[in-house]
Amino acid sequence: MIYYSYKSRSSLDKLGYVFSSNSYNQMFRRLGYIVQYTNSRKKQIQEIEIVTNELDNQKNNLIHEKRIQNKLLSDEVTENSKLQKLKRNQKKTISDLGKKERRIKKEINERRVSLEQLDNLIKEVIRSEGEKLSGVHLDLIKLTESFETNIGKLIWPVSSGFISNKFGIHPHSVIKNVKVKNDGIDIQTSKGSRVYSVFSGKVSTVAFIPGMNNVIIINHGEYYTLYAKLKNLVVEKGDIITIGQNIADIVTNSDGVSELQFQVWKNNIKLNPEKWIMKK
């Protein structure tokens, strides 16, 4: 009856229920029941609220964890995508490096052949002129001595530029475990630059060698200077040349590089041109 009255809130309310008792003992018992029931209901409500809060917290935690999992999954998908892209780029880079290495090796081989042809050309010029000039020639001796006194003082064969490849054997700048040989020096300059004779002398020969384009060799007594990768030649074999005289223009290759191959010889001995020209 207590439970029914509390739930239904009928005309038989709490006070009516208490005062309808037949005795004081019954009234106190009924009042005790009502207090007990009220406390029980409050306790149930508190427990319900606690459980509800716990459920809400669990729900929020699950939502948070799900968001974290979704983010992790999204990050993993993104990382996998980046990894696949990186692998593709790596394969392309390796492929490009392989192609570049093959191209450079081909260029190294072609340059070696061209330098061998240059070597044979100047040796033949020196041999041929040596046979013709057997005996003592005072003019050649003076020219030789004059050239020798200018070691480290010769003008540059171009008005501006820098030494891009030094004399001798040295490691290749790109490919590991590969060494390249240079019988002279390469001087990189600007497009269309003019080329000048570093000393007075006589044009021994003018030739064309694949990979080196036009070549001019000038005699300075026992010394010779060689200029390669030329165009627009303005001298020919037998011409007497003065120091600083324009002899040709520089060639610019397909990569847009303008580079002079310059050599210095004494008879059949290759010399380091860098030691003969002035320091910049």
Q: Going residue by residue through the chain (280 aa), what tens digit of pLDDT does each one get?
A: 444 444 444 435 666 766 676 776 777 777 777 777 778 888 888 888 888 888 888 888 888 888 888 888 787 778 777 777 766 776 666 566 566 667 777 777 888 888 888 888 888 888 888 767 655 465 788 899 999 999 999 999 999 999 999 999 888 766 677 788 899 999 999 999 999 999 999 999 999 999 899 999 999 999 999 999 999 999 999 999 999 999 999 999 988 999 999 999 998 899 999 999 999 7
E strand or H helix at 92: helix 24-132
pLDDT at 159: 94
Output the CA–CA distances (angstroms, integers) from residue 125 to 133, 203, 207, 237, 264, in the order listed. Answer: 12, 11, 11, 12, 14
pLDDT at 161: 92
What is the pLDDT at residue 11? 36
User: Do 264 and 225 meet the contact criterion of CB atoms below 8 Å apart?
Assistant: yes
Q: Which of 231, 276, 45, 226 is nearest to 122 (CA)?
A: 226
Q: Taking a C-beta distance cutoff of 8 angstroms, is the pair 189, 259 a contact?
A: yes
Classify residue 252 by burial, with Cβ atoms within 10 Å: 0-12, 13-18, 19+.
Answer: middle
Kind plus residue range of the DSSP H or E element containing 211 = none
Query: What per-residue confidence (pLDDT) applies to 58?
Result: 86
Token pair in block for residue 8: 């239904």
CA distance 15 to 34: 10
Taking phi over 0 as left and psi of -120 to 50 as alpha, with beta for the rest, 134 belongs to beta
Burial class (CB in 10 A: 0-12, 13-18, 19+), 5: middle
Q: How many CA atoms lie within 13 A of 117 on its CB side?
A: 16
